[in-house]
Amino acid sequence: MTEQKKSDQTRQKILTAGRALISKHGFGAVGLARILRESDVPKGSFYYYFPSKDAFGQALLHDYVDDYLARMDALCSGPGSARDKLLSFWSAWLAHAHSEGIANQCLVVKLGAEVADLSDAMRRILDDGVAQLVGRIAQLLVAGAEEGSVPPVADPRATAQMLYAKFLGAAILSKLSQDQVPLQQALSETTDFLTIR
């Protein structure tokens, strides 16, 4: 194993451990010592990989956005109609019997308000990631209208933004209530919205 590969693996261990902790506790509540302890990396090594906690946060969010968009791209390029793909994406926000839903893992839900006030660089990464995701949802709305699986909309990008905002808000309400009902209502309304009459 080359030194570069080992270095990349160690850096990824720190990011993975950090994502798990931060998605549970928030960015400000998790210290570097805890991240390094969880990733089993010596304390003095952190600054070899990241010049600051803010730089770590930026790298973590880049990693998260890249992973999220790659999963969305896999869904978009997979089998099924655009409507099927949209409903699969929205259904994934809910927890199921053996897995957490997107809402429980979503760093936009967890960190959106926190990093907007904390770090403009981190805010921009999340904002750009959301814009790219909304763009993919809009593409599915266009494809669905063309194939006849969803009703056409006048402004696919605005509609995609509205649908994403609906689920983002429902995810926050679900966290507050510790109940999936807001997400279930969002899924029901979205399913109805995407039904051709």
pLDDT (0 to 100) of residue 95: 79
Q: Which DSSP category does 155 fall into? A: -
pTM confidence score: 0.90
d(CA 180, CA 42): 40
In angstroms, the CA 179 to CA 193 distance is 23
Write the burial class of residue 3 (CB in 10 Å: 0-12 exposed, 13-18 middle, 19+ buried). exposed
Integer Cα distance of 115 and 106 in angstroms: 14
pLDDT digits (tens, 9 = 90+) for 113-169: 888 888 999 999 999 999 999 999 999 999 999 999 999 999 999 999 999 999 999
Q: Residues with Cβ < 8 Å from 73, sequence gap 6 or more?
A: 136
Instruction: Kindly tell me if the per-residue pLDDT of 6 is higher than 80.
Output: no
| Predicted confidence (pLDDT) at residue 4 exceeds the cutoff of 60 | no
Taking all residues of the chain, what is their mean pLDDT, rounded to a whole number? 91
DSSP letter at 99 equals B
User: Which tens digits make up the pLDDT trace of 80-126?
Assistant: 999 999 999 999 999 775 667 887 888 898 888 888 888 999 999 99
For 22-76, what is each residue's pLDDT tens digit?
988 999 899 988 999 999 888 788 888 999 999 999 999 999 999 999 999 999 9
Give Cβ neighbours of residue 33 (< 8 Å, ≥ 6 apart).
43
Give dist(CA 197, CA 176) in Å, integer: 35
CA dihedral defined by 131, 137, 143, 149, rounded to 10 degrees?
-160
